[in-house]
Amino acid sequence: MNLGVALRKTRKFAGFSQETMAELMHLPRSTISKLENNKLVLKADDLIRWCNVTQTQEIAIALIYGVDVPTVVQNLTTLIGGFIFWI
């Protein structure tokens, strides 16, 4: 997963439009769009602020450590689903 896709998913998960995210981040809406389309590099302090605003700090940790977030979610869903089925 690339960073832009992760940013877009966390923003949408939080229920924010690009306009709302721009206001919360104190950035122009065009910057939010460029970040989500990998046309602009996100600074570390902006990544931390993004994750705080969207309440997705675990995504920042996963991205820093190079974890493929969708794969982890899929594996956990399979594991938990299998566990629930077993019970």
Q: What is the CATH number of the domain that holds 78?
A: 1.10.260.40
Which helix H or strand E contains 23, and what residues bound it?
Answer: helix 18-25
Mean pLDDT of the chain: 84
Rounded CA separation 44/61 (Å): 12
**Domain tally, the chain:** 1
Encode pLDDT of 35-56 as tens digits.
Answer: 999 999 989 899 999 999 999 8
More confident position, 86 or 61: 61
Domain of 76 in residue numbering reads as 3-86
- Does the pLDDT of residue 64 top 80, yes or no? no
Q: Is 50 helix (H, G, I), strand (E, B) or coil?
A: helix
- Does the pLDDT of residue 87 top 50, yes or no? no
Q: Across residues 4-27, what is the average pLDDT?
A: 93
